[in-house]
Structure 1
Amino acid sequence: MNQKCARGMVFPYNDGLIHSLPLRGNHLKVMIDSIDERYKGIPVPVMTNEVGTLEDAVGTVIQWPRIAIVLSKEQQSKASSQQQIQTTSARPSTAKVVMEKNMPNQKINKPRPIESLRDLLKTNLVVHVVADAGHLEAGAFDFSVTYEDYYRLLKKQTADLSIITTWQILLQLMLQKRMGKCAFLNPYKILGKACQETPIDVVNYLVDAMQLHHGKSFLIAPYLQKYHMLLSIFILIFLCVFILKFQNITSMHWVLLVICPSNHIVYILDSLMKPMKNPVDNYYLLKLLEKAFERYEKNTSIPIVWKLTECNQAGVLERELSGHYVMNWIFDFVLNRQHGFPSRFGTLWNDKIAFEEKVLVTTVATWAREFLKNFMNDVVV
């Protein structure tokens, strides 16, 4: 066949799981939007228990051979017309999916959105961002992204509140109606500092958020609190170990909570996981979440189950990357895991290997590309 049989979005990553199967070599993730009815019964290239034919693949993510994917004409035209602000293949592009055995490889230029956005932000040091009513809370919520925020993200120093919050808004814009099961909580309203100083306000916001997103299967909550570490530096002199310095280091640490209101389960993803400790004692927000559940469902006594997942671990020396890890976990959950979760993922999260550099860079590039597209159209160059 050398015919267009489907249309969708392509996510050019090199690894990952698709319906619990690893991504094959020379294959890409493809989210199928629509199909040609003439070919609805043909088997997909990589069949799973969930998806066997092209008809089954509509609205979900599958694997497709790289050689059988062609960029749509409107995307080609759009790419050629954008001269000042370049984009990247790291962000999903609308594409035509064809079944073809001998299609020649196509060379695709790789624009550099990370550098393009960095240069634009040098002359636009503050960018105002607005989350529409109903996205993060009942009313609209506005905040700002600065050049310094983006610079720290690029240098892997940290991912600021503005970066994480913008990431959630950009995901909503990217996936639109496909995010039917997920809703996002506002990170600004559930800070660790707020949990300590104004717990009543945090509880009120959590209750309002659960009422606003009633019926959603998952509430995605990026949570930020201080992390303390006692660092001991040792030196070896004449075969003796001396304590040179003790330093109490405080940094901001990101954790991701995936809240399932219907069954009272909260999955905790922490890149510096402490599995031997009680989660409620580690994170200020969890105790307040218990109170919010009590107010939200007054006639139930079902306790909350806290599940510390075996997720990717950055290590103490790379604790600044916790925000980058949270960004990757959110993307993976919204794009893949929410569909059929948790039954389709029997082991849930079980990979403690640190993210590779290219994965972190790809996420930053996706953030930059979407930020350029949605918030930097009218800028001073």
Structure 2
Amino acid sequence: MHRNMIHNEKPLFIRVFYDRWMKQPNPRFGAVLFLEEVFGPSVCKQTVVTSDDLMSLLTNGWLDMSVITYFTMSLHESMQKLGGNRCAVLNPYEIRGSRCISNMANVMDYLLNVINTHDKDKTFFLAPYYENHHWVLFIIWPHNNTVFVLDSLGLKRKSTNEDNYSIATPIKTILEDIRWIFPKCHQQKEQKGGWECGYYVMRWMHEFIYSQQDDCPQIASIPWDRTDSYEAIDLDNIVALWLSYYWKTCNSWFLVLN
């Protein structure tokens, strides 16, 4: 296991978690069980959050798909308990870029299943999407045939259109006359391959579910209008939220692997 150093500027909660974790002689890792009531029927039933994955999260490293998936499930469950949530979430493993290329039919089936299941009770479908070592957030609005694409490298791309993403093909197959919207959103400081994109996606999901979904009833009121980078504290706060979810659910969602 990598013994990374954590910056003293990190919030106290993160530093305390890190210190306690590092004092364990052999820190454990576990398999996260996917909840069907959150993600719908999935081919992937679980993932493993390793000690290295956790250390990367704590030290501004690259975020593995297991980390993003766990956060997505936790965020959805926390909002459901409060009531009034109009957002469903998609399993990143089921829609990742490599899967869209190698098994598009399964991706289409998964998207249709989840959208049809929540046709009456959900408006937006949040899809954390991974392709070519980069995280992007898709927010699918089926009843309005609209897809928002939040990409922290959007301004750095040579062109901004849906063809940059393999998931666009299965979405086009299940929705007609799609309006693709690439809103102004926070742009990461690093170029492609940097560590920030996964943290941005987690931050965007949290902001949309907790403070923006009710203000997004019409295209004219899309809630993104900034292209500056998130501050370090903004990303640290989302890490602290991940850790708080971990403490609350580690005994019920994790199977400890020896």
Q: What's the counterpart of residue 93 of structure 1?
A: none
Residue identity opposite 1:290 in structure 2:
K
Q: What's the counterpart of residue 165 of structure 2?
A: 283
Aligned pair 1:307/2:181, yes or no?
A: yes
Find the partner of 2:104 among 199, 210, 231: 199
SS in 2 for 1:255: strand
Distance 1:311 1:128 in 2: 33
**Residues 126-160 of structure 1 deviation map (CA, whole Å, 9 limit, x = unaligned):** 21212222211136932221111111222222111
Cα 1:333–1:121 change in 2 (3 A) is farther
Q: What's the counterpart of residue 55 of structure 1?
A: none
Q: What's the counterpart of residue 264 of structure 1?
A: 145
Cα 1:179–1:133 change in 2 (3 A) is farther
C-alpha displacement of 1:119 = 3.4
Residue identity opposite 1:261 in structure 2:
P
Cα 1:211–1:120 change in 2 (3 A) is farther
C-alpha displacement of 1:344 = 10
Alignment of 1:1-381 (within 5 A): 112=15, 114-115=17-18, 118-119=21-22, 123-138=26-41, 141-177=45-81, 178=83, 180-215=85-120, 216-226=122-132, 252-274=133-155, 277-293=159-175, 302-317=176-191, 319-343=194-218, 346=221, 348-376=223-251
C-alpha displacement of 1:201 = 1.4
SS in 1 for 2:130: strand
**Residues 312-335 of structure 1 deviation map (CA, whole Å, 9 limit, x = unaligned):** 000344732100000000000010
Distance 1:311 1:150 in 2: 27
Instruction: Say which structure is richer in helix.
Output: 2
Residue identity opposite 1:205 in structure 2:
Y
- Between the two structures, name the one with larger relative contact order (CA 8 Å, sep ≥ 6): 2
Cα 1:196–1:367 change in 2 (3 A) is same
Distance 1:158 1:223 in 2: 15
SS in 2 for 1:365: helix
C-alpha displacement of 1:173 = 3.0
Distance 1:110 1:196 in 2: 40
SS in 2 for 1:134: helix
The worse-fitting range, judged by mean Cα deviation, of 370-379 and 261-270 is 370-379
Distance 1:308 1:151 in 2: 32
SS in 2 for 1:204: helix
Distance 2:34 2:248 in 1: 16
**Residues 97-117 of structure 1 deviation map (CA, whole Å, 9 limit, x = unaligned):** xxxxxxxxxxxx968553266
C-alpha displacement of 1:163 = 0.6
Aligned residues of 2:96 and 2:129 also touching (Cα < 8 A): yes
Cα 1:335–1:290 change in 2 (3 A) is same
Q: CA RMSD in A?
A: 2.8
Aligned residues of 2:21 and 2:27 also touching (Cα < 8 A): no
Distance 1:126 1:344 in 2: 43
Distance 1:290 1:167 in 2: 27
Identical pairs, percent: 28
Q: For structure 1, list consecutive stretches of 5 or more residues without a partner in the other structure.
A: 1-89, 91-108, 227-251, 294-301
SS in 1 for 2:137: strand
Distance 2:188 2:50 in 1: 26
Aligned residues of 1:114 and 1:369 also touching (Cα < 8 A): no
Aligned residues of 2:152 and 2:185 also touching (Cα < 8 A): yes
Instruction: Say which structure is richer in strand.
Output: 1
C-alpha displacement of 1:171 = 1.2
Q: For structure 2, list consecutive stretches of 5 or more residues without a partner in the other structure.
A: 1-10
Aligned residues of 2:126 and 2:138 also touching (Cα < 8 A): yes
